[in-house]
Amino acid sequence: MNTENFILQIVASSVEALYGAADASQLQIQKTRKEFEGDYTLVTFPLLKLSRKSPEATATEIGEHIVANNAQISSFNVIKGYLNLVIAPAFWAERFAEVAANEDFGQAAPTGRTIMIEYSSPNTNKPLHLGHIRNNLLGYSVAQILKANGHNVIKVNLVNDRGIHICKSMLAWQLYGEGETPASSGMKGDHLVGKYYVEFDKHYKAEVKQLVEGGMSEDEAKKQAPILLQAQEMLRKWEAKDPAVYELWQTMNGWVYDGFDVTYKALGVDFDKVYYESQTYLLGKSLVQDGLDKGVFVRKEDNSVWIDLEADGLDQKLLLRGDGTSVYMTQDLGTALSRFEENKLDDMIYVVGNEQNYHFQVLKLVLKKLGYEWSDNIYHLSYGMVELPEGKMKSREGTVVDADDLMEDMVATAREMSEELGKLDG
């Protein structure tokens, strides 16, 4: 129901009952000015020829008739011929009930466009943190707005479930975990795995320091630290489907997913589909081969594959490492292709912080050079990163604001303030 039309109807009815029918030009309704009490105001001056009374008397007479005959109007007041009407709370309660009962309220007509929006995109080597909260709420909100505008929206999460960073947590647990599990430790699975990501970094830094003290340059030490070489070997074994490595990967990722589910539920966000990089990186590799066949990419002496984008104002971009393992770009190429082909997308929106602006420039350009015109419909929803007073959050160093802790603290703070104000009484 349009509230202004409703007010117009009851005003017209009262005017007709008191003075006879008025034409549309004589019924002037407007929202009440903020400094006066009321919701809608009737300007009575155009009605004086019908009432043959003063503006104040006309307004008072109409106001009394409206209140006497319409339970939806609780009171009125008159200011120099302006009749201010106050709508009763019961009227608003009825409108809210109508809205609650209408699942399509606020929804625009279907546009026929299908839009996929990716947000969250966590790594399975650590729990969600403050930055993830911002990303999730931004992505979910934009998805709901697009849906309300009539688009068919597919909310997706791309889980970064493979790669060197995942192997770092796995290796550290293997070396120092002594069989610890979420059940034995009492920790959420994502927190437990994150603990070993920090543990890896601690041992890595100690080994780098030892190598530097032994005369090696810092750059070389960072590449030759034994624990890093072990992690790189573990990644190669994972890509070769080594049974022991693969089983450990599945187990530890399972711990993380259980933890993520708890956090997502508390945050109030969800997804229509979840993609896993472990299932898309091979498709990315086939695109790299396609690019080589077309002469778009080049293979260097160390067997790595690159694309030269210097003529486009960018630089050379690595697409496949010399040992054949994938990089993020490899995976994102494969994921983008599978999404557009499987879902017949009109648009693809990536909700990712601004530190990845360059990455998405390259992604669109590489896909364009491979001949995919739909690359023009890729949009990077970029936003500023969350930083602490001491600088950027670093999961590997444990300097993060944990999402679960933050939500728990906010609920506790809200409860404490509400109790102090007596708002929880009864």
Per-10-residue mean pLDDT, the chain, length 426: 89 96 93 95 96 96 96 95 95 91 90 97 92 94 96 96 94 97 96 95 96 95 96 94 96 97 96 89 84 94 94 93 84 90 95 94 95 96 79 59 89 91 78
Q: What is the DSSP letter of 123?
A: B
On whether residue 292 sits in a domain, the answer given is yes
108 located within any domain: no
Residues 80 and 148 in one domain: no
Domain membership of residue 100 (yes or no) is no
Residues 206 and 68 grouped into a single domain: no
| pLDDT value of residue 323 | 85
Residue 151 domain flag: yes
Looking at residue 246, its pLDDT comes to 96
What are residue 48's DSSP bridge partners?
Answer: none
13-61: pLDDT as tens digits: 999 999 999 999 999 999 999 999 999 999 999 999 999 999 999 999 9
Which residues form the domain of 228? 114-415
Q: Are residues 224 and 347 in the same domain?
A: yes
User: What per-residue string of b and e applies to 38-50 under the rule 16 or more CB within 10 Å gives b?
Assistant: bbbbbbbeebbeb
Residue 299: which H helix or E strand, with range? strand 298-299
* pLDDT on residue 363: 96
CATH number of the domain to which 375 belongs: 3.40.50.620
Whether 101 maps to a domain, the answer reads no
Domain match, 56 and 198 both: no
153 and 278 fall within a common domain: yes
CATH at residue 16? 3.30.1360.70
One domain for residues 280 and 406: yes
State pTM to two decimals: 0.76
Task: List residues bridging with 87 in a β-sheet.
Answer: 73
DSSP 8-state code for residue 402: B
> CA–CA separation, 407 vs 424, rounded Å?
20
Q: What pLDDT does residue 384 have? A: 87
Q: Are residues 57 and 121 in the same domain?
A: no
In the prediction, which pLDDT does 401 show? 83
Whether 420 maps to a domain, the answer reads: no
Which of 76, 91, 106 is the last residue before a domain boundary? Answer: 91
Number of domains making up the chain: 2
Residues 72, 153, single domain; the answer is no
User: Is there a single domain that holds both residue 195 and residue 129?
Assistant: yes
Whether residues 395 and 340 fall in one domain: yes
Q: Are 44 and 66 in contact (CB under 8 A)?
A: no
Report helix angle 243-267 to 189-213, nearest 10: 120
